Amino acid sequence: MAKETEEKVLLPDVVLAGVNTLLKNPSQGFYIVAEIDFKVVGCLMITKEWSDWRNGVFWWIQSVFVKKEYRRRGIYRSMYQFIKELANDKEDVCGFRLYVEQDNNIAQETYRVLGMTQLPYLMFEESKFN
């Protein structure tokens, strides 16, 4: 997934451990899987970030992936609508956020069409694994 979408090679053992950790700790987040005819065609991960400014939780949409042959067919739209419906039942959820590669114009347009707006922030990181 990361190789195709972001040109990144990930360590399979680290990713598997990360997935298992989230599955064992649902307070940290969860996964959404899209299926057609019992075949997985897409997925995304939700993680949670507390906002003192809003006294609520942002659901961060991460690890978005739709199989190439199913793109531009409403799969992401369906997953996004599903998480919005889930959030309607959660009083503490104050919104949704995601990050996107700067040159991924197709994804950016999809997010805009679905009602998301670009924020004026830049992301910074210092990884202890590099």
Could you report the per-residue pLDDT of 47-77, keeping only the tens digit for each?
999 999 999 999 999 999 999 999 999 999 9
In 3D space, the residue among 26, 33, 20, 68 whose CA is nearest the CA of residue 48 turns out to be: 26
Q: Which CATH architecture fits 2-113?
A: 3-Layer(aba) Sandwich (3.40)
Quote the Cα angle for 61-35-64, to 5°.
20
Give the helix/strand (H/E) hosting 14.
Answer: helix 12-24
Residue ranges covered by each domain of the chain: 2-113
For residue 13, which amino acid is it? Answer: D
pLDDT of residue 49: 97
Q: Return d(Cα 109, Cα 106) in angstroms, integer.
A: 5
Residue 16 token pair? 């598997």
The mean per-residue pLDDT over the stretch 16-23 comes to 95
Positive/negative CA dihedral, 103, 5, 20, 83: positive
User: Per residue in 86-109, pLDDT tens?
Assistant: 999 999 999 999 999 999 999 999
